[in-house]
Structure 1
């Protein structure tokens, strides 16, 4: 069982990999994606992810979720899962809904795994985000 104290602090993204129908599908924002997630002792959290070359986009470009993603709210630990209760997000359909992530540890890094989700096309996707504590 994971304790809240295990996740508190600031973490940087090591990598983000995805599976499509159970097979490796690469890196949603590239192998060199940037990200940070913060968990506070007050039960607040915030996460941001972006492609490494995001800064090179013209200022007139609207960021899309495959380029830049951010959300935040509160969090709680439920067994081996962390539940992010989303208050704000760049994806409006996440607002007001919990995001459940299964936690595991690899060489001291925190791995957050999404549950499999089936898209409208019938493909099933699952993601693992690996974070290293600062």
Structure 2
């Protein structure tokens, strides 16, 4: 069962957590970027990233060629520094990015995201449960604490 108030696209306003000592932590910085989409037919798509990810500085053609470079020692020798720099930036960026999608359902004050596709392979097939507070224009999702520290994601309807 879906909630019609959920349906639409939401923009991330903030993501914070408070550790057991009371210190506020911003896992994706103070200005994270993200979109959350809930569809009428029960699908969810979430994308979140830090706002200061470094560019890879490679063209689309070079990105396609990257795999071939690491399989060919001569290309790696000739262009290796550029590609290694891009790969390091890619891994730094992927640490600062989350994306997943699947079905969702509402149960009381909880929304459950049934993950079908994810940048984090361990989430595939898992249920991500969040409590929620919703108004016409704002959505607060709170993760259940895994380590005693719930996370609060504030969204604004686009």
Task: Using the TM superposition, give the Cα deviation of residue 107 of structure 1 relative to its aligned residue in structure 2, in angstroms.
Answer: 8.4
2:32 is equivalent to residue 33 of structure 1: yes
Q: Which residue of 2 aligns with 1:24?
A: 23
- What 5-or-longer segments of structure 1 have no aligned partner? 119-123
- What 5-or-longer segments of structure 2 have no aligned partner? 57-85
- TM-score w.r.t. the length of structure 2 is 0.73
Cα deviations across residues 76-121 of structure 1 (Å, max 9, x unaligned)?
0000011000001111111101000100147841000001102xxx
Task: Using the TM superposition, give the Cα deviation of residue 64 of structure 1 relative to its aligned residue in structure 2, in angstroms.
Answer: 3.5
Rg (Cα) greater in structure = 2
2:129 is equivalent to residue 130 of structure 1: no
How many equivalent residue pairs?
A: 125
Q: Which residue, out of 64, 68, 74, partners 2:94?
A: 64
Q: Which residue of 2 aligns with 1:94?
A: 123
SS in 1 for 2:4: helix
2:108 is equivalent to residue 79 of structure 1: yes
- TM-score w.r.t. the length of structure 1 is 0.85
Larger strand fraction of residues: 1
2:39 is equivalent to residue 9 of structure 1: no
SS in 1 for 2:28: coil
Cα deviations across residues 13-40 of structure 1 (Å, max 9, x unaligned)?
0100112126233211111110000000
SS in 2 for 1:93: helix
Question: How far, CA to CA, are the matches of 1:105 and 1:24 in structure 2?
Answer: 26
